[in-house]
Amino acid sequence: MPVSDADMVRAWTHVLTLSKLKPQEVVTVLTSDGTHPQTLRTALIAASNLGARVNRLDLPPVNAEHAHSRDSLAYLGTTPLTGNRAAMAALKESDLVLDLMTLLFSPEQMEILESGTKILLAVEPPEVLVRLLPSLEDKATVGEATALLKAAKEMHVTSRAGTDLRLPIGEFPTVQEYGFVDEPGRWDHWPSGFGFTFPNEGQASGRIVLDKGDILLPMKSYLTSPIEMTVEKGYVTAITGGLDADLLNDYMDAFADPEAYAISHIGWGTQKRARWSTLGLYDREQTLGMDARAFAGNFLFSLGPNNEAGGSRTTACHIDIPMRNCTVSLDGRAVVREGKLLAGKELA
């Protein structure tokens, strides 16, 4: 059901307060043609009510000739900021950028963050934003997950469907997504709830079996038949199965880029209020699928770039795949068992 502007203003006020927005700080709201109007107008009100100096920077969409869909993550090439010196200057002079457009995996985003500006991405429908409002408890839970990741040398993922994937880790930093930006130069995504890292370059190996009900993003589809992936030296070298595998192969082939097949970020969801089933309630153009990415106990892995963590691999193709019913172990100790997020004594 829809949410009221009053609810959205309260939600924005909560998130901006967690993000430590101070009076007289400069907030720039970055928008484009796909920006949700209620999210925009309530963000402007909430930031203004907190005493910020608020600007709006509206930029036209790009990459029309490469578009596979209206999803902002379906093509990660150039952005409306590419070569736009005036826009970049305005964003780097801001204390906080509210990204209602989507800049993910872009060099421009990295440059803005390096200036000390904070960036908060918020592009899900308002009712998702309100339902998955972040909290300090969410931050603590994600922090516990990333602390385990940081201390580990290998992630091992198995499932009854046949997954047996080994992922040496430690070369790249861990990343926390908990839904607000409380430190200079921090990026986050509201809503969120997961920790992740990237496998050591060229070392991931094994077999991934995507089962019925696992999810492909940005396709925003539940698998109706299994897909098997062979992983060698950090890359998926074969994708086999029925129609779902054919559709995935065709989509990825369109990019004509071998780097699209590299194993990218790896981790698991921690958000107990996110639901695996929610994606089935939306038309594909209505949501980015953050429930699927964040629901507690998923194994979330991706294919494509690793520049978000300081790596050198860039590609316009990025696939996120949340899997259910997996066991995720770090150096032999389970942190997720058959899709159940473990905590406390269960981790011993």
The pLDDT score that the predictor gives to residue 68 is 64
**Side-chain half-sphere CA neighbours of 169 within 13 A:** 30
The pLDDT score that the predictor gives to residue 75 is 56
The pLDDT score that the predictor gives to residue 69 is 61
CA distance 91 to 30: 9
Per-residue pLDDT averaged across 320-343, rounded?
A: 96
CA distance 253 to 264: 17
CA distance 129 to 127: 5
Determine how many CB atoms are found less than 10 A away from the CB of residue 87.
19
pTM: 0.93
Pick left, alpha or beta for residue 332 (phi over 0 → left; psi -120 to 50 → alpha; otherwise beta): left
- φ, ψ of residue 87 to 5 degrees: the values are -65, -40
Write the pLDDT tens digit of every residue in 273-303: 999 999 988 887 788 899 999 999 999 999 9
Write the pLDDT tens digit of every residue in 99-134: 999 987 788 999 999 999 999 999 999 999 999 999
b/e burial code for range 37-49 (CB count within 10 A of at least 16 → b): ebbbebbbbbbee
CA distance 340 to 324: 9
**Which structural domains are found in the chain, ordered by start?**
5-130 (3.40.50.2300), 134-347 (no CATH)
Q: Judging by DSSP bridges, how do beta strands 154-159 and 205-210 pair with one another?
A: unpaired
The pLDDT score that the predictor gives to residue 86 is 97
User: Which tokens belong to 164?
Assistant: 């047996």
User: Which tokens belong to 77?
Assistant: 């090439």
- φ, ψ of residue 155 to 5 degrees: the values are -105, 135
